[in-house]
Amino acid sequence: MPTEPHAPGRELLLAQADALARGQGRSLSISPDTMRSRVRSGRWQRLQRGVYAAYSGDPTRETVLWAALLRAGPGATLSHQTAAERHGLIDEPSAVITITVPAGRHPAQARIPGVIVHRSDAILRTRHPAMLPPCTRVEDTVLDLVQTAPTFGDAYMWICRAIGRRRTTADRICQTMHARKKMRWRRELAAALGDAEDGALSVLEYRYIHRVERPHGLPAAYRQARIGQRTGNKYLDNLYLQYRLCVELDGTAAHPADEQWRDKRRDNANAVNGIVTLRFGFLDLRDRRCETAGAVATLLRRNGWPGAACPCGRACTALNP
């Protein structure tokens, strides 16, 4: 249980999830000797050098985060994966806490146990104006993660997650990106944000658009199309409504058994409504993307599409019926 602090410190401890730095204790007339005494007696506990939790027992995640920020010093802000955790972009806390500090600061030469420290001259601008503990805005969090992503697919995953979980919009991310002088994959991200705004909310959907549909001259499908069924509204990845064709991406092999049955029921419901469903997985959008385009083109033409699949290159194997 939290130890009763002196009256002036109650609000501060409440705001900081009962974490307190040694310097803050001095301002509240709690001497370092008193803090150490409380730690020795088991009433308090040390979380970082010079930072304490004013209670015994297992520290909460909130207290641990505050302790890391207090250890890092003025201007420290949760960022990257830890900010993603705070914004609900990831479901499990990361093992390491990630913090960004103003560029001119070097907190303890960046050696804080369990903490990765970044430096940025824009952290005061990207910091959320109200969130506690201090945290980067969701749009800046996404772009920070994009900057450190190993591949463009990983980068796009963060965009999909932020928009798909309704934490922000493609337009807000785009505006934030324009405010940055340096940005990896800027041109690709601008195009991808347009696709995300139209409903392409997974890496596979992005790859379908850019490796299958557009390079082979197929018509544009409706993304995340809503279809009313007896059990409620269902959303289809790519629906060519005029030609009664649905393209679903991921493949049943990637799903646990209960989700496979859900997909099959949805496919069956589409069939009852006269919509044919094609399912493609990762390899269909990479190694077999031309064959995938040919299969889609075949069914589109069979159902009235007047166009024809275009070869994406000399070795393209997308054939029209």
Domain ranges of the chain: 7-58, 73-197, 216-302
pLDDT tens column, 169-221: 999 999 999 999 999 999 999 988 998 888 888 888 999 999 999 999 999 99
Average pLDDT, the chain: 87
Does residue 274 carry a pLDDT above 50? Answer: yes
Res 197: pLDDT: 86
Does residue 284 carry a pLDDT above 70? Answer: yes
Res 5: pLDDT: 53
SS3 74: coil
Q: Tell me the C-alpha to C-alpha distance, in Å, between residue 84 and each of 102, 116, 123, 141, 162.
A: 20, 15, 16, 6, 9
Does residue 129 carry a pLDDT above 60? Answer: yes
pLDDT band at 1 (very low <50, low <70, confident <90, very high): very low
How far is 24 from 39, CA to CA, in rounded Å?
16
Res 266: pLDDT: 66
More confident residue, 259 or 125: 125
How far is 68 from 85, CA to CA, in rounded Å?
15
Res 117: pLDDT: 92
Res 79: pLDDT: 98
How far is 90 from 85, CA to CA, in rounded Å?
5
Res 302: pLDDT: 94
Q: Rounded mean pLDDT of 299-320?
A: 89
Give the angle subtended at the CA of 85 by the CAs of 151 and 250, to the nearest 5°.
50
pLDDT tens column, 52-107: 999 999 999 999 999 999 999 999 999 999 999 999 999 999 889 999 999 877 65
Res 282: pLDDT: 85
Q: Are 9 and 55 in contact (CB under 8 A)?
A: no
Concatenated DSSP letters for 96-123?
SEEEEEETT--GGGG-BTTEEEEEETTH
pTM (two decimals): 0.79
Q: Are 217 and 308 in contact (CB under 8 A)?
A: yes
| Pick from 102-106, 267-271, 298-302: least confident | 267-271
pLDDT tens column, 3-36: 455 555 788 999 999 999 998 988 888 888 999 9
First-to-last CA distance in the chain? 74
Length of the chain equals: 321
pLDDT tens column, 211-261: 999 999 999 999 988 876 566 667 889 999 999 999 998 744 444 444 554
pLDDT tens column, 157-166: 999 999 999 9
